[in-house]
Amino acid sequence: MLDYNRALEYYQKALLMQRKHLVPTHPARATSYYKMSCVLQLLGELDSATYYARLAFKQLQHTSVSHSRINEYKKRYDELFQELLTQRMQAFEINSMSRETNQ
């Protein structure tokens, strides 16, 4: 059985070790952010997933070498952002309809 909460916990621990032992621009940090965004999306935490996907993309932009995954990370961030935007728009529409019904 998959335990996404445990996976997230391990990625957070890995990130703490990376912050302690690696230079700030090390690409491994971007990989951890990226994987955290994947797990958070599976947990239904779209806000946090989008945040970490953005961090992954931004981290790769600041690496000292061109990284082969930058387009993949950017695409993931864009997709999560669109999903989050759609979710918020639907919530707004439901909220608006509810107010109209109660008036």
What structural domains does the chain harbor?
11-102 (1.25.40)
pLDDT at 66: 61
pLDDT at 64: 60
pLDDT tens-digit profile, the chain (103 residues): 579 999 999 999 999 999 999 988 888 898 999 999 999 999 999 999 999 999 998 888 877 666 677 888 888 889 998 988 888 888 888 777 776 677 6
Residue carrying the six token digits 């703490």 = 16
